[in-house]
Structures are given as structure tokens and as C-alpha cells.
Structure 1
Amino acid sequence: MRRSAEERRRLIVAAVGELGGHVRLSELAGRLGIPAVTVRRDVVALADAGRIVRSHGYVSLGRAAPEGPRRADGAAGRTVGLLVPSVGSYFDEVIDGVRTAAASAGARLVLGIAPYGSDDDRAQAGQLVDSGAQGLLLAPGLLPGQAPEACGWLDSLPVPAVLVERRSPSFDGPGSLLDSVGSDHRHGVLGALRHFASLGHERVLLAARSDSWTAEEVRAGYAESTRLLGMEPLPVLDTLGPRGAGSDPARLAGRIAEAAAAGVRAVLVHNDQDAIQLPPLLRALGLTVPDDIALIAYDDVFAALAAPPLTAVDPPKRAVGEAAFALLLRRLAGESDLPVHRTLLLPALRVRTSCGG
């Protein structure tokens, strides 16, 4: 007998509850014996009505949904602390991912901020624990190759912790046995350079910051990717001014123009805040994007708003936040046989018009 849409949707809500309140859409379709396309359409309608929450292929019972069986992971009522170096930039989407996952689980989220260079990570993490956090999601101001003593505190945390968009700066040093979830920035750079190569570019210039974990990973990814693709590696342009004085887009545009005069026609710029300022500055120097310079931004917060819209590497920041929260919940649930996780999620390349082709 053919079910009505409302009957299907009641079954979906009930099944999500029976499966623990958080389930893959594909698993839900298989359980109910309903085509995935139909389930997906019903899930959209239920989410719009506030009866469930959907996110990245998963369906969860939100606060507005009818009460179902208690989640097996016991997340409801827990308090989780999240430490980030800044808000209003890269980490906003990470925070949103954690916040969405916490709300779906009925957990309380407490935010702490330790700005880059403040050496305040340990103190802020301690304050989160003092405020009641039973587990921590940490994005401290680490840099690859940093002295181990700078992050020794990671091995003395009193509660379970997961590193977010970070990992221990040394192979077997402090924090190396903590779980970590992050974006695979090196693979993101590889995707950008492969796109340039598909358009016929044999030399790609990298312009990058040098003051963050992501920046160092982008630089390392450039060195690895040029070697893998057989491209000529070029000296990296530092987008920061002398002595870390902040980015200087006019100076950067001039350096790119010099490279263009030497035959370089493709540039990868970290980050998109710097990249979005370049097209008008290059135009003033007689170079247009994409006719004279193909341009890809690393990060996709503002890239689509540029003129022309910039092709961009888009790290899966929201998904990183959700995955890190889910992993921390497993630690809090006391899964004693759970191995240490080092999870890397692949960025996507958002192709727009700044590379031509």
C-alpha cells in the first residue's frame, strides 16, 4: 500500500529515535525500505518544519522533535569546551559545526579564545575545565616544528581532548597521543595545482602567510605537490609585511606582476582575504584576472564575492567541527578499546571564473 507523505515522515522521525537519535540518511532509507531520493525529500521537509536536524548526510533529532529514546552515548547534559585562536575568520565554520553537533546531542558548549602569539592556550584550557567542561576540543596556537616544551601541557590535561585543525608538532612529542581531526591542507593544495596543470600551467606561484598552522601546511603542500606533478617550484611569496606587520596586498600585487613578466601566469594565494584584494590591484598594473593571471584562493570565506569570483580551495571546516565533537563524545562514553584517531578530511575545489579555461 502506498504511504502518504505524512505517514512516511512519522516513520522517519520514529526510526531516527530508534537508531539512537543520529543516523546516516542512507542507513535510514535502507531501514525503512524507502528510496533514498524520497527519504531525502522528506528529510528536507522535516528539517524545514523543525522536527529533525540534517547535516552532511546525517539526520538527528533536534530539540523541536518529538522525544524519542535517550541517546546511547549519554551526550545529553554534558559540557564540552572549545578553544580557538580567533572568531570572525577561519574558525567561525568550525565553531558552527561543533555548535550544531552539540545542540543535536543536547550538550552544552563553552567557548574559549587564546589569540595567536598570546601563549594563553594552557590558561584558557584550564578555565574551560574550571567552568565545568568534561571534555575539550582544542585548536591551540601550534606551529609545525615548534619546540616540544611549548605544548607539554597537552599531556597533562585532566579531561579527554581532541585536537581540532591541529596535531602534535612533533611525531612523538607532547600531544602525539591525542585524537585529532582536521582538514588535509596538503591535499587541498594538490587539488589546486592539478587544476592549474589541467589548464596548461607548468609553473605556479604560491603567495602565503607564515603565521599559522594552516599557512605552514599550505607551504608544505606546495613543496610536495610541485614535486609530485613535476612542476618547477618557485620561491614562496610571504603575504605578510616585514616583521609580521600584516598583509600588504599592494606589495604582493607588485611581486606577482614581476613574476608575470618572467612568464608565470598562475598564482595560488593563501588566504582568500588577501586574494580578493588582488584583481583590482593587478588591473592597475596592466594585468587582468583571468586573462593574464589565473588565480586560486586558499579558503572560501569570501572568494565567491570577488570580481571576478575566485576559484577557491574550500577546507571542510564545519564537517571538521562535527567530526571532532562526535569523536570526543566517544571518548567521554568511555570506549576503552578506541584507538587514537588522526582524521583528515579532504578540502573541495570550488571552480569559478578566475582561472579561465
Structure 2
Amino acid sequence: MRRTLPIVGGIGLLLVAITLVIITEPAPVTTKPLVADPAPVTVVTVYAQAFAPTLTVLGTTSARWRAELRARSGAQLHWLDDSLEPGTIVHKDQLLASLDTTVLEAQLAQAKSDVAEAKLQLTRTQLEQTVALKMLRGEQNTAFGRREPQVAAARLALSKARSTVTSVEKMLTDTQIRAPYDAVIFQRQVSPAQHVEQGQVLFEIAASDSLDVKLPISDNQWQRLSGELGKAKISLEDRQQQRWPASLRYLAPLANEVTRQREIVLRVDTPYQRIPRLLPNQHVKVHLRLTEQQDAMQLPLSALTRDDEVWTVQEARLVKEHVRRLQHTEASVWVIFNESPSEPRQVVLYPLHSMLPGQVVTPIEAEL
């Protein structure tokens, strides 16, 4: 009993302690998961409206019909218009200079004398042929006896003499240097009373009625322009910020061998008549005003991502949409949405890289 009593007492105390722990155990507390509030995003509501985009590209001016007026024969300069300085505008068939014609006039007189001599020889040969045919009537004879080769040679000699007269007359006409078309003088490389050689350049000219503007066009720009170029209103801006109306001249049939770009050539009328003038070999800005788009939307620049995508909010959820850019301005961009372009949209003003499609957000309306 002495040995078992402590054991029984210890067991009893243990049972009492367990009972007290069970009785004093607090009731379990039920926890509810925390619900995060939707992230706020700043949006702006945009609506479709009509807009005519303007595409601006860089071009290079080029002279139209650039040519060199050369001396057709060697002679001393007989007359030169002293007012023909570089930049002077001349009209078609205007006399610019003339060469001395003394030698050519002598050659023309000799050529006309040769014509008269050839006519006389032909007449003499034909008369001899008539006499020969009468004497040989009814007899067989050769063509030489009938004077046929002699007559043919006399006729050829007359034709040659006449061609020489025509050639010398043409050289006499060429001694008068005239403008082949309405032109502007780029360079004058001759002085009064100067002796010029055959083929020497006297003037460098270009057409004054128009000027070419060449535009290299990339593939993306060509896709936009291919269907609207004929209807576009074209103007260009030079270095003096002066505007010039332009029109389409032609589309180059071949792509550039190096860049593989297409080329559009524009026409600018009367470029040398205004002050300041529009000169060749200058870079200009060409503004192409395209046809009006009915479903265009104006967005802030910050709303467009690098991939030409826009985040919008639909039913409190983020949606990523693809757009087609029309034109950039200083503070905005004009686009057309690929799907349902005419429907109004809540566009996220400042999209983040952490945004996910379908994410629930709280739109906060802002003003443009």
C-alpha cells in the first residue's frame, strides 16, 4: 500500500491536470481571408470621329530636264547676251549666243555650186543616153552602152551634193544657240568673243516650268499610300518654312537596288519664279494629306505601348487591343481600333508592364 499510494496519487493528479486543461482550452477562432481591393487605373473615354491624317516624309528636289548646250562647230563667238547670268530664266527659242558663220557660208556656197554642177552633169548624161538609145534602136547592147550606169551615178552625185547643202545649212542654223525649252541657266561657261571648239559646253540649263521631288518610301508607308496616293493633297515645306503645292508625276517602276525602297516622284510648278526660290538638291518635308477616316480616335501618347497596343477597361476588367496608327502629333496620336472601331472606349492613360488581360481594376476617369 505504501508503494502503490504515491503512484495512485500521481495518476490522480495527472488526470486532474488533463481535465483542467480540457476545461480551460479556449474555443477556436475562425478567420476570414482578406479580400484585396481592385487596383485603381486612370482612364479616359474616347469617341470615334472623322479625321484626315497627314503623312510627312523627307524628299530631295531634283532639276527637271537638265542639259548642256554645246557648240556644234568650232568658231569664234560672234554675239553673247550679257544678261544671261546663272539663275536667269529664258524662254523657248530665245537666242542666247551666236557663232561666226564666215567659214560655213563659204562651205554653203561651195555646196550649192556642187549641186549646180551635179545637175549639169546629170542633164548632160541624160542627153547622151537619149542619143545612144536612138543610135542603137533595134540593136542589142549592154547597159553601159545604153548609158544606164552613167545616169545612175550622176543622180547619186546630185543627191550627195544636195545632202551636203542640207548639212551645211543645219550647221549654220546651229551657230545660233537657242533655248530648247523654257529654262533656267545654272552655269554660263563662255565669254564674249571667245573661240569655242566643237563640242564645248556653253551653257548648263534645266527646265524652269517644274521641279522634281523624289521620295523614298518604305514598305509600311507604301501600304498606306498605295490606295490613297491618287486622292492625296500634297504640299512640301522647304528650309525657309515656305509651302509649295505639289502633284504626283509618276511612280518609279523599279525599286532601289540597295535599299529596296519604292520611289515616288512629285512635280512642283514654277519653282524659280517665286522669291525665295525652290532649288534642286535640297531636302524638303513633304506632307501627304490622305483621305478622311470616319472611325478615328485621338489618344494621349502615353496610352500607346511600344507594340502599338492599347489597354482598355471593359466591365471593370483590363483588355488589350490592337490599333492602327494614323498620325502622331505633339501630344496625342490618332488611331483606329482593329475590332469595333466605332464603339466608345475607356482607355488606360498610363499602362504598366504588370498589367494582365482580364485583371479586375477600378477605373478612375480623367480629363484630356
Q: Which has the higher helix share?
A: 1
Same fold (TM over 0.5): no
Q: Which has the higher contact order (CA 8 A, sep 6+)?
A: 2
CA radius of gyration, larger in = 2
- Compute the TM-score of the two structures, normalised by the length of structure 1: 0.20
Q: Which has the higher strand share?
A: 2
